[in-house]
Amino acid sequence: MAWLKLKQKIWHLKGILTIAPSITLLVILGSFTGVYQTLEWATFDFWFRIRPQESKDNRITVVNIEESDIQALGQWPISDGKLAQLLQNIIQQQPRAIGLDLYRDLSYGSPQEQEALDQVYRSTPNLIGVEKVVGETVNAPSILKEQDQAAMADLVLDQDGKVRRGLIAVALDDGQTVLSLATKLALMYLQQEDIYLEALENSDRRFLGKATFSPIKNNEGGYINVDSGGYQIILNYRGNQDRFNHVSLTRVLNGDIPEDLFRDRIVLIGATADSLNDLFFTPYNDTDTGSNQMPGVYVHANLTSHIISAALEGRTMIGGITETGEWVWILCWSFIGASVSLLILERNLLRIDPISSIELTLVGAFLPIGVLFSSSYYLFLWGWWLPTIAPLIAFILSTVAVVSYYNQNQKNLAFTDGLTSIANRRFFDTYVEEQWRRIKQGKDLSVILCDVDFFKFYNDTYGHQAGDECLQKVAKAITDAIRSSDMAARYGGEEFVIVLPNTDTETAMLVANRIRFKIKAMQIPHKKSQVSDHVSISLGVASVNHNRPHSPEELIAFADQGLYIAKEQGRDRAVVAPR
């Protein structure tokens, strides 16, 4: 009994069990094309914008080079003398590290100014200059390069032009590994905390204090076949410029700064003026409007803060899960969509009041979507970037597919006989009317009306359950005997009807006798039959080209007349209705 109930339950849920995995496979195949990638990125950006604001990172101070600073200098690039003075004013407060986010491969100013700047370079071991190593290269100051005080300033842009990934290091063609500016500054800062980078043997994972760094994979989070060259991570931004201490270049040059502004901190010097065009799109701004672009120096500040806070405080690292995990995630939402839609449809079928039905539909449609987005958001806050759009598509498609399947199934049930699983009287009436209309196009049409011989005696002898099984076997024999173009239906009780489109009388008789022989061949015992020891059937045949009826009802009446004659002549036979 338990097995039977389980089997019935599985049969009831076969639509869900088929649709949900199929939709999942379809969505996963679609994801490989990158069709959801832009929307996944947009969702990821939205999570950044709505999450609680993070605290300011007071370990980093940025020296802004603003439009007013350029006007005050009266020239750009800044001269070697002014840059030397700027650095000396910063160095006086003993910062832990200084990052000069300016490409400075050429000298600007007199030989005396150049010498002054070179002297600062030589005497400042915690000063890091930048170079560009990807694409068109730009060298770092030669002195800093020789002293291993150079780092790359390259940033990684997604296809929509936004910076979502942080570049930690790059291996060059000559085998040399170059660290990014943020990485070099962070490691220099952490050394004074006695924290050093550790590599896990035979792995690309790296340990740094409380943090474990893993490079991004090609299909991680919302990325599809991303170029993951070098050592990249998903950048957990702290925020815009207001999340860091900052001061203008002019104020530093004039000494108009607090005495401890740079002390024991990381100092980043970089351009923020629009005219210098060192601006980048990030999750915090819209690429269409171009507003609130982030200066490159603040992208470096965010990545530096990311590394330091992760190592010291265990701040959240953002990463994806395995591809298999993402597939399971999508499959779960596909099943949820299929299950919820089936539940709503079945509840509505119970004809609860209309208002409750509408409420149920709205809740069932929008609540799971709200749960999906809420789950994705809170997982993001915990450092997990899971696809949101792909499971949403799976949810919607599964919902639509189950509704379509359910409606088709209900339609089939409405036109199917519950006992024999062939068409019912309702479907027959519709079908024969449709075929009748085609007669005007010169088509033939025949009908066979069948009746199981002495079926009342069979029921009385073997019981109604056996009678039902007998009718099921007869229906099966009929469907096996007719052609694919024919349609069989249960006409009522033990009566069956077959509609044969494009069929003349002679062919219809052949089909009728094939049905009769098929049923006799089953050898179903019937000891109370007056014509045979086994179940037999009588058939009446009528056709348009033979009986010339004026309506479908008259055609059926002719077939019924043939059936009556077959019974009068001793049953277990097929008779063509007379004209």
Q: Is residue 165 domain-shared with residue 107, that is, in the same domain?
A: yes
Q: Is residue 230 domain-shared with residue 94, that is, in the same domain?
A: yes
pLDDT digits (tens, 9 = 90+) for 542-574: 999 888 888 999 999 999 999 999 999 999 999
pLDDT for position 351: 46
pLDDT digits (tens, 9 = 90+) for 311-326: 999 999 999 888 899 9
Is pLDDT above 60 for 6?
no
Is pLDDT above 60 for 464?
yes
**What element of type H or E holds 267?**
strand 266-271
Q: Is residue 567 domain-shared with residue 445, that is, in the same domain?
A: yes
pLDDT digits (tens, 9 = 90+) for 138-171: 999 999 999 999 999 999 999 999 999 999 999 8
Higher pLDDT, 219 or 345: 219
pLDDT for position 158: 94
The answer to whether 516 and 572 have CB atoms below 8 angstroms apart is yes
Q: For residue 361, tell me if it sits in a domain.
A: yes
pLDDT for position 219: 87
Distance in angstroms (rounded) separating the CA atoms of residues 234 and 254: 39
Q: Is residue 229 domain-shared with residue 366, that is, in the same domain?
A: no
Q: Is residue 201 domain-shared with residue 327, that is, in the same domain?
A: no
Q: What residues contact residue 249 under an 8 Å CB cut-off, 6+ apart?
A: 63, 64, 65, 66, 69, 78, 86, 269
Q: Is residue 162 domain-shared with residue 280, that is, in the same domain?
A: yes
pLDDT for position 267: 98
Domain boundary among 313, 342, 374: 313
Instruction: Tell me what the mean pLDDT of segment 72-93 comes to.
Output: 95
Six-digit token pair at 12? 């009831």
Q: For residue 476, tell me if it sits in a domain.
A: yes
pLDDT for position 354: 46
For residue 366, the enclosing domain spans 10-34+321-411
Is pLDDT above 60 for 73?
yes
Is pLDDT above 90 for 2?
no
Q: Is residue 263 domain-shared with residue 171, that is, in the same domain?
A: yes
Higher pLDDT, 196 or 346: 196
The answer to whether 176 and 55 have CB atoms below 8 angstroms apart is no
Least confident of 374-388, 394-408, 546-560: 394-408
Is pLDDT above 70 for 175?
yes
Q: Is residue 307 domain-shared with residue 327, that is, in the same domain?
A: no
33: number of Cβ within 10 Å: 10
pLDDT for position 347: 64
Is pLDDT above 80 for 343?
no
Least confident of 92-106, 238-252, 441-455: 441-455
Is pLDDT above 70 for 346?
no
pLDDT for position 545: 87
pLDDT for position 9: 46
**Strands 127-131, 97-101: pairing kind:** parallel
Instruction: Tell me what the mean pLDDT of segment 430-457 comes to.
Output: 88
pLDDT for position 45: 95
Domain boundary among 355, 377, 411: 411
Q: For residue 535, tell me if it sits in a domain.
A: yes
Instruction: Tell me what the mean pLDDT of segment 392-402 comes to.
Output: 88
Q: For residue 40, tell me if it sits in a domain.
A: no
| Domain total of the chain | 3
Q: Is residue 431 domain-shared with residue 539, that is, in the same domain?
A: yes
Q: Is residue 129 domain-shared with residue 15, that is, in the same domain?
A: no
pLDDT for position 135: 86
pLDDT for position 287: 60
Instruction: Tell me what the mean pLDDT of segment 428-448 comes to.
Output: 85
Q: For residue 48, tell me if it sits in a domain.
A: no
Is pLDDT above 80 for 206?
yes
198: number of Cβ within 10 Å: 11
Q: What b/e sequence results for 275-289 when a residue is b if at least 16 CB atoms lie within 10 Å of its CB, and e otherwise?
A: ebebbbbbbebeeee
pLDDT band at 249 (very low <50, low <70, confident <90, very high): very high
* Residue 209 DSSP class: T
Is pLDDT above 70 for 362?
no
What DSSP line would sit under 514-560, residue for residue?
HHHHHHHHT--B-TT-SS-SB--EEEEEEEHHHH--SSHHHHHHHHH
pLDDT for position 511: 96
Q: For residue 550, tell me if it sits in a domain.
A: yes
Q: Is residue 434 domain-shared with residue 369, that is, in the same domain?
A: no
Least confident of 5-19, 256-270, 392-406, 556-570: 5-19
Q: Is residue 161 domain-shared with residue 93, that is, in the same domain?
A: yes
Domain boundary among 379, 411, 443: 411
pLDDT for position 25: 93
- Per the listing, tokens 């489109």 go with 501
pLDDT band at 11 (very low <50, low <70, confident <90, very high): very low
Q: For residue 416, tell me if it sits in a domain.
A: no
Q: For residue 335, tell me if it sits in a domain.
A: yes
